[in-house]
Structure 1
Amino acid sequence: MPSRAVLLVNLGSPDSTAVPDVRRYLDEFLGDERVIDRPASPLLRSLLVHRLITPKRAPNSAHAYEQIWTAEGSPLIVLSHRTAQKLTTALGPAIPVYLAMRYGNPSIASVVAQIAADGIDEVLLFPQYPHYAMSSWETVVVKVHEEAARLAPRLRITTVQPFYADADYINALHAVAAPYLAQPHDLVLFSFHGIPERHLRQTDSSHAHCLTVADCCITCSPAHATCYRAQIFATTRALVARAGIPSDKFTVSFQSRLVGEPWLTPYTDHLFKQLPTQGKKRLLVICPAFVTDCLETLEEIAVQGRQEFLAAGGETFQQIPCLNDHDAYIQFLATRVRRWLTDGSA
């Protein structure tokens, strides 16, 4: 019986597009204190999320999910299962691969319980987030450790660190993007998921670098180990260099913001309306913060974004797919797992 295994954890999706299922999912997602961390009082935050935000958002989100739902279900869940299955094939039967979602099903608790029941002693936790953020990579790691302490206290966990600059990850991005980059285009828009500016300051242990020092993201600092913004720019620089994209043919923006406070800028939806007026009418959009296509890429970018860009005078719009279950991404995952099996490093 195998004693070691791999645990992939992705974001998650509602069980269906029905409003009650979507609201249940949003209650769990937005109720995470690392996603919405204000107000500080848990009671007030709970009232804000469960009484004000999710009742209003659930019907709109349900409609958005309907636009991308497939006969097999949620694209993110379906593609994540395919990734896990392909990784299982690549690694062979001696190393089981488990898949959990931070929110929704299969839940982290249920999968950790299954890992314990299967007699696994050691697991490689592989968050499906290339970049560090308290609302993505960190919340996955914390939740897995919490459930392991409760359900499998003897389980040893090694965690893969953010892989935003890993050469094999960059090569995988390039392998997916290359056919699209070969098409005529005026600009490549790197659209990353946004976070509040406040989160950068919170995760800066020095409290004196992020958004404080001039050119903070390219000025070397230990703060970059937990700086989402610095890491997404590192990914962009690496892919631009790998693909040979000229400096005047790409830019970076941030999507999926919530209202109420400053988030990282520029905003993706604003650029969709501005770029055609600047002569950028043939647009490619890549979303490297997501390894799997999901609501934020398939609906927010490929549906809403496309409509906004074309309505503003754009001529062609193409969303470059995420890594999904592409063979190059499976090879990257397998390489990292084999390294852990060989020398214990992650």
Structure 2
Amino acid sequence: MKHFKTGVLLVNLGTPDSPETPDVRKYLREFLMDGRVIDYPFIPRWMLVNLIIAPFRSPKSAKVYKELWTEQGSPLKIYGEKNERQLQEALGNEYVVKLAMRYQSPSIESKLDELKKAGVSRITVIPFFPQYASATTGSVYEEVNRVINTWQTIPEIRMVNNFYAHPLFIKGFVENGRKYLEKEKFDHVIFSYHGVPARQIKKGDHTGNYCKLGSCCNQISKVNQFCYRAQCFETTRLLVKELGLQEGTYTTCFQSRLGREEWIQPYTEQTIKDLAGKGIKKVLAFSPAFVADCLETTIEVGDEYKELFEENGGQHWQLVESLNDSENWINLLKDLVENGQLIASK
């Protein structure tokens, strides 16, 4: 019997083609015009992005990207390309592994086309987002469906929804964090996740009255199983358990707030100020919403929050690196391909 190959599409958020302002502006426009990222009607979204955000934010963002950029390019893309090679080697010749970006290049459409031309019989799509959010995993689903809906013949498609509770995901961050915890004593541990507007979380509540953006996120249930905030808190609980942290010595918070409207709380910036104000001097910071170090981890959490902490009286701020190209991460991806998605722990 002839064996047909399985396609694997790895998808991360994306990165500008260069740290120059025109490329950053192009990236921001594509990213922010996604109706799942800024969920406004098209015309006000177009005006906000093209007349306000992209023109004014692009030069500032370009400066930050230049700090992040390496001789090889964007770290997020470098790690992604290495993951593509690593997973291909781990899975073997029965699989065809391709890396795509939701925004900019290489596009989801171009890589799906390559898988189609390779004659794969099925495709597993793995968005590189541990916790499900409409603006990330949901957007990848939408784009994949848009592309394959134009195909005359459609292979079996399997999409990974999340892996926030996968043992290898937890193990990877625990091992990275322990390297620092074994060297010195920290007064507090921060688990900082990317933020989203509060309205997007409430829109995801199909009951219409369950979500309060508070204690309802304290455990995963049938009602809130797709809630980004609840999944983030569950990731923290699993990390805390494995790290052996005591209650009161850690905080879950959310970064990257944009605009004046309410985003999910507590905010990382305010948390940092509060901790410093209470006399906390040493903080270990995790960013478990990202599997590869990027602008939001290296620059925002690693540099900008360090500066904010020190300005408010803190002495030592240490960022825990992401999974990047680690063995745990590749084994996790391999497991997702071969065994499917792990159901969240109770």
Q: TM-score, normalised by structure 2?
A: 0.94
Change (3 A) 1:331 1:46: same
C-alpha offsets along residues 41-62 of structure 1, whole Å, 9 cap, x if unaligned? x122112211221111100110
Matches within 5 A, 1:153-232: 153-182=153-182, 183-211=184-212, 215-218=215-218, 221-232=221-232
Q: CA deviation at 1:168?
A: 2.5
SS in 1 for 2:223: helix
Distance 1:46 1:153 in 2: 35
2:61 corresponds in structure 1 to 61
Q: CA deviation at 1:273?
A: 2.7
Residue 333 (structure 1) aligned with residue 333 (structure 2): yes
Distance 2:142 2:320 in 1: 31
Q: CA deviation at 1:267?
A: 1.3
SS in 2 for 1:307: helix
| Further displaced range: 257-266 or 144-153 | 144-153
Matches within 5 A, 1:4-15: 4-15=6-17
Contact 1:176–1:321 (CA<8 Å) still a contact in 2?
yes
Q: CA deviation at 1:271?
A: 2.4
Structure 2 residue identity aligned to 1:172: G
Distance 2:233 2:289 in 1: 11
Contact 2:205–2:223 (CA<8 Å) still a contact in 1?
yes
Matches within 5 A, 1:1-346: 2-38=4-40, 40=41, 42-151=42-151, 153-182=153-182, 183-211=184-212, 215-218=215-218, 221-340=221-340
Distance 2:89 2:194 in 1: 31
Structure 2 residue identity aligned to 1:208: N
C-alpha offsets along residues 48-89 of structure 1, whole Å, 9 cap, x if unaligned? 211221111100110110111001000100011111211112
Q: CA deviation at 1:2?
A: 4.7
Contact 1:302–1:319 (CA<8 Å) still a contact in 2?
yes
Structure 1 unaligned blocks of 5 or more: none
Q: CA deviation at 1:10?
A: 0.5
Structure 1 residue identity aligned to 2:131: H
Contact 1:185–1:284 (CA<8 Å) still a contact in 2?
yes
Distance 1:169 1:219 in 2: 19
Contact 1:187–1:280 (CA<8 Å) still a contact in 2?
yes
Distance 1:152 1:317 in 2: 54
Distance 1:280 1:345 in 2: 37
Q: CA RMSD in A?
A: 1.8
Change (3 A) 1:115 1:266: same
Contact 2:269–2:305 (CA<8 Å) still a contact in 1?
yes
Distance 1:151 1:19 in 2: 36
C-alpha offsets along residues 246-291 of structure 1, whole Å, 9 cap, x if unaligned? 1122111110011131011121122233322212111111010111
Q: CA deviation at 1:151?
A: 4.6
Contact 1:172–1:332 (CA<8 Å) still a contact in 2?
no
Structure 1 residue identity aligned to 2:166: D
Distance 1:275 1:345 in 2: 35
Q: CA deviation at 1:163?
A: 1.3
Q: CA deviation at 1:152?
A: 6.6
Structure 2 unaligned blocks of 5 or more: none
SS in 2 for 1:195: coil
Q: CA deviation at 1:177?
A: 1.9
Contact 1:2–1:96 (CA<8 Å) still a contact in 2?
no
Structure 1 residue identity aligned to 2:185: P
Contact 1:112–1:151 (CA<8 Å) still a contact in 2?
no
Q: CA deviation at 1:220?
A: 5.7
Contact 1:165–1:235 (CA<8 Å) still a contact in 2?
yes
Q: Percent identity?
A: 38
| Further displaced range: 285-294 or 260-269 | 260-269
Q: CA deviation at 1:345?
A: 8.8
